[in-house]
Amino acid sequence: MECCMQKHFEVIKEYDPTPKNQDGSIRWFLYRWDDGKNGVRRLVRCQKCGTLYLVQAYHLHKFSERKDTLFEDFYTVKDEREADDLNQTYTGIQLEHKLTPSFRF
């Protein structure tokens, strides 16, 4: 995983920040304060070791200080199917409570 900390990733898939129900309606935004513009998820692969990660990235707006903070949480997944399942099952907050990120930038 040391090589992964060098941020050499290939994007395999970009997920919709607003997962949909079967009827096409929005299931949820990644975060409760999100309007669908600030949170993203993607599946990436380390170009050196091949490890797959579900990346959850979001801007947290600090209104009092007028600063934006970008968080990128990297969750190790075994394959694309696991990443797809996590994306469809958990909101951003739920994923943070369910899994511990392998690392964060």
Domain ranges for the chain, please list them: 2-104
Helix (H) or strand (E) holding 97: helix 92-98
Phi and psi at residue 60, to the nearest 5°: -105, 115
Residue 65 vs residues 9, 71, 85: alpha-carbon distances, Å: 32, 17, 36
Buried b / exposed e across 78-103, counting CB within 10 Å, b at 16+?
eeeeebeebbeebbbeebbeebebbe
**Per-run averaged pLDDT (10 residues), the chain, 105 residues:** 86 89 86 66 95 87 61 94 94 89 89
How many residues comprise the chain?
105
Which pLDDT score is estimated for 40?
Answer: 85
- Whether the Cβ atoms of residue 42 and residue 14 lie closer than 8 Å to each other: yes
Which pLDDT score is estimated for 18?
Answer: 81
Copy the structure tokens of residue 29. 């935004």
Q: What is the model's pTM? A: 0.85
- Whether the Cβ atoms of residue 4 and residue 74 lie closer than 8 Å to each other: yes
